[in-house]
Amino acid sequence: MSKKIVEQDKRAFMTGNEVVAWAALAADADIMYGYPITPQNEIMHYWTRLAPKYNKNFLQTEDELSAGFTTIGGVMAGRKSFTATAGPGNTLMQEPMSMAEMMRLPTVVIVQQRGGPSTATVIYSQQEVTMTTIGGNGEGMRIVYSTSSHQELYDYTIKAFNTAWKYRFPTFVLGDGYQAKMREPLTLYDPESRGIELIPSQPFVGAEGVPGKDRPPAHFRNTYSMEEELYEILTDALQVYEKISPEVAEYQSSGIEDAELVIVGHGIVFRAIRAAVEAMREKGMRVGYFRPVTLRPLPVPQIKELMSSNKPILMVESSQGQLTRLFKEAAYGSTSEMHTLFKPGVGITAEEVEAAAREILK
């Protein structure tokens, strides 16, 4: 029996990758499947250092396709399984994760975004939003949490396992190279001490009883012979996804009511936005922020309300507008004036956000 990971709340100083490894342990994950790619490597490094102490397992596969498919295999065998990747690794991960989408399997993937296209840089970007939310062939029936701090990496990695096993849609924690490698304090805690009940895993194949007699046969398919068969399955899955979306979607906002400008962004960029908004508020400027925490599903009613308020919006991203595209779809028909500050593959400071905001408010 594995021992408790965290006995009592503890303030700790770590890199984001280490945080993910500890959070996966706290979430009672059983096994990580992985293939190395910067900037997520230390998730594997720390998991493999911690795993033997807590009776956990690890398998290094030959590539990300394999890491994704073995994660699916682990899940089907009833193990809380996860993998972590970035950039071109995430590209390969789309094939297995669309299979998990088709089969409604609770896979968990941590993505630490790096520069793109292709190998680009190992450092940082927000350029994996499109791929992580709606990548692969399919309909994007996934859940994607975009974190902005080490505390959130801990909180949402734990939550990702519960979300995945509760709703049975592939779940992603979307971090980035800055969050992966930077160091800051956070509080480690035992989820149960916070009233978070860890949803137990269960086998999808090899369950007890005689198939067809004691239980329905386990029949997980990613291939259908006829369009109608597929359509029926997809219609059902899409209805479920639509139904759960309002309870899964999360966002954070401040100062919108009296704002003359609302700044929108996610992930680590949100921290620059929040700092800029706080600095401008102190100077008496009426600005607010809106941050989607889930990028899939998005908090659609709140986005519609925001974008119908006739307040100008400033979208800020370390990509060429990948979140903005999703926002436009969610807000279709609304009339807000939209400004942008896009720096694909590069970090954005609070000062840059403030300068862009001041330009609009002139």
Partner 1 sequence: MSKRIVEAYTGEYAGGKSENALNRALALARLGRKVTLVDLDIVEPVYTLRPIQEELKALGVNVIAWKTRETVGLGEAGTTLKPGARWALRHEGDIILDIGYGVEGTRTLNLLEGAGTDPDLQVIAVINTSRPMTAGVGDIIEHVGELGRVDALLNNTHLSDETTAELVQEGARVVTEAARRLGLPVAATAAVAGIAEEIGPVDCMGNPVRVLTRFMQKAFW
Residues lying near partner 1 in the complex (CB under 8 A): 10-15, 18, 22, 38, 42, 45-46, 49, 119, 121-123, 181, 183-185, 188
Q: Which is nearer to partner 1, 18 or 28 (CB)?
A: 18
Nearer to partner 1, 18 or 64 (CB): 18
Q: Closer to partner 1 by CB, 107 or 148: give it.
A: 148
Query: For residues 169 and 189, which CB has a smaller minimum distance to partner 1 in the complex?
Result: 189
- Specify which residues 125 forms β-bridges with: none
* Residue 343 contacts residue 115 (beta carbons within 8 Å): no
**CA nearest 301: which of 260, 331, 259, 341?**
331
CB closer to partner 1 out of 121 and 349: 121
Residues 6+ apart with CB under 8 A from 70: 33, 59, 61, 81, 83
Report, in Å, the least distance between residue 3 CB and partner 1.
14
Closest alpha carbon to 297 in 254, 345, 344, 238: 238
* Nearest-angstrom CA–CA distance, 34 and 309: 45
CB of 185 to partner 1, least distance (A): 5
**C-beta of 254: minimal distance to partner 1 in Å?**
22
Instruction: Give CA–CA dist 350/250, Å, rounded.
Output: 23
The distance of closest approach from Cβ of residue 179 to partner 1 in the complex, given in angstroms and rounded to an integer, is: 12
The nearest distance, CB 22 to partner 1, in angstroms, is 7
Query: Reading across the β-sheet that carries 31-34, which strands appear in turn?
Result: 57-60, 31-34, 81-85, 108-113, 171-176, 143-146, 294-296
